[in-house]
Amino acid sequence: MKDKLESIIERYRFIENELNNPDVLKDVKKFKELSREFKYLTPIVNKSREYLKVLKDIESNLELVKSNIEPELRDLAYEEIEILQRQKEEIEEELKILLIPKDMNDMKNCIVEIRAGTGGDEAGLFVGDLFRMYQKFAEKQGFKIEVIDFNEGERGGFKEIIFSMSGEDVYGVMKFESGVHRVQRVPETEANGRIHTSAATVAVLPEADEIDIEINDEDLRIDIFRSGGKGGQNVNKVETAVRITHIPTGIVVSCQDERSQLKNREKAMKVLRARLYELELKKQQEEITSARRAMVRSGDRSEKIRTYNWPQNRVTDHRLEGEQKNYPLSEVMEGELMPIIENLRILEQTQLLNQGLLIAEKD
């Protein structure tokens, strides 16, 4: 443990020096990568230095005990050793959590795509509810939301809505929202008061920078058209909406939210980079062992992760168990998502920690 922590501190010092290196400052990609690693290592290094100090204090007191000192001072040294040993054990437990390999994407902003699933018009209304929930959640957390594209439902809500979310470690928070969200309630269109079940899919993608994904201009087909849906004075009259097709992959993205064609193009490119980045991540993940992939479920958007039950005022997250599984629906829909996300984080850390212990035992 000591050798490992000292090597981490050494790496931290190296990065610190590199970030002040004029040559590194000129290399945008390298500077950004080192800055992310520096931010990731900072809490580990702070705790490591605390741990190494405790080890040094224990060693000093042990030498004091072995020396020719008065009995009273020896007793005090023994008491100090007991206190330091307890501190050592506590810090070791904290370091086990901090040393769990983290996804460097956690520090990125994200793109969120919500689409209506089974349930017709009711599913579209549910997409609108989910979007408003995330708006309120973002406001509480100090995150910023920008709508990129949307397709309104015939009776309200959205068939789909795509937006970006930016702020501190946004992807690390929002990644737990990926999956199928199911709603159980009596639709406004239901005359007999029967409870219907509808669904919506949520996909959360880490936002890719230009340095992460290289896109060649010749691989793009860009179409300009008039925006649809509700609009202002110019939104529906001028061709400002942008549709971008990435020819090699067939991915199509569009943006019509802004009145400026340039801004719509920038937003559409942001979504395209995120989707291409996701494809690259999937390729990498396929090469990782099953033990390393078994995080909080799979995060696969095809898997039902949560049910919103209106009659019982209850939200159930199916990845959690026991008392942590259910939450008041009225609070969740007002953006109180952090209690669910914090429990999912703990579950993820526990599973990763257990995997690390199993791998260590095999080694």
- Per-residue pLDDT tens digits for 209-239: 765 677 888 999 999 887 665 544 444 556 7
Structure confidence at residue 202 (pLDDT): 95
Over pLDDT 90: what percentage of the chain?
Answer: 54
Question: Does 168 score more than 80 pLDDT?
Answer: yes
* Mean pLDDT (whole number) for 63-70: 85
For residues 138 and 128, is the Cβ–Cβ distance under 8 A?
no
pLDDT of residue 233: 44
Where along the chain do the CATH 1.20.58 domains lie? Answer: 2-98
Fold of 2-98: Methane Monooxygenase Hydroxylase; Chain G, domain 1 (1.20.58)
The region of weakest confidence among 118-132, 140-154, 183-197 is: 183-197
pLDDT in tens, 177-187: 999 999 999 88
pLDDT of residue 75: 87
**217-285: what fold?**
Double Stranded RNA Binding Domain (3.30.160)
Which residues in the chain are classed under CATH 3.30.70.1660?
A: 107-207+296-362
56-70, 114-128, 304-318: range with lowest mean pLDDT? 56-70
Q: Average pLDDT in the 194-217 region?
A: 85
Q: CATH: 3.30.70.1660, 3.40.50.300, 3.30.420.40, 3.40.50.1000. Which one for 107-207+296-362?
A: 3.30.70.1660
Ranges of CATH 3.30.160.20 domains, the chain: 217-285
> Is this model's pTM higher than 0.75 or not?
no
